[in-house]
Copies of this chain bind each other. A is one copy, B any other.
Amino acid sequence: MVKNNSIPSRWKIEMKKIAKKTNLQVTFSKRRSGLFKKASELCTLCGVDVAIIVFSPAGKVFSFGHPHVESTIDRFLTRNPSIHNLNAHCNVVEAHRDANIRELNARLAQLVDILEVEKRKGQALDEVREAGRKQWWWQATINELGLSELQQLRNALEELKINVGKQADLLQAAVETRNCWPFLAPNGVETSGLGSEGNEVNASSGITQMYTFDPNLYFGF
């Protein structure tokens, strides 16, 4: 891909008030959320109380607080960390609620993190599924592969063929052994078919899914 080298610092912006209204609005929104995220991380990592108040260019107020904005401001204004009047007036119930908020905030942060991981997994899986759906899609990509990649792919499939043969033989042996005592598990406990007969399985389609893999996933192309 060719970059426009005539503009070396396209992404660097001057540290002065943004002139263009729309850009300012977008930047404000992005940076405000970035600021709140940083604050939330500071709370989580260091277990401290934080309050942030931001007025938008339009005068709208945004705030962030842990455990909440008011109590932190109050603590700041009274300069009395240990006895702040909030707890003096509102008692056990309030404490419970504070705990709830802390818990919710923590859970939320945790969830966001997990979600990120899961989403990445999900994307990869989507690729696998896509590969399975378009059965022969990857075949079409062969023409786009370089020689060395093709050779690697061929070698890999050859090896797969051999190994799969071994596995099939092993299974053959297992099946034959089992044939003598069809309903007796190795541990000697009698077992039934467990309703597996009703479970229709199309083996071919299952297998098809297996080898119509996406080369990108398995060969790092």
Contacts and interface: CB of A to CB of B under 8 A. Distances in A.
Given A15-B109, A35-B35, A207-B163, A154 B125 contact: no
A28 interface: yes
B148 A196 contact: yes
Interface in A30-66: 31-32, 34-35, 38-39, 41-42, 44-57, 59, 61, 63
Provide the main secondary structure of the chain A interface. helix
13 contacts: A16-B45, A31-B38, A38-B38, A50-B53, A51-B53, A68-B100, A70-B83, A104-B104, A107-B108, A118-B121, A125-B125, A139-B170, A167-B211
Interface of A: 13, 15-18, 24, 27-28, 31-32, 34-35, 38-39, 41-42, 44-57, 59, 61, 63, 68-77, 79, 81, 83, 85-86, 89-90, 92-94, 96-97, 100-101, 104-105, 107-115, 117-119, 121-122, 124-126, 128, 139, 142-144, 146-161, 163-165, 167-168, 170-172, 174-175, 178-179, 182-183, 185-186, 191, 193-194, 196-197, 199, 201, 203-204, 206-211, 213, 218-221
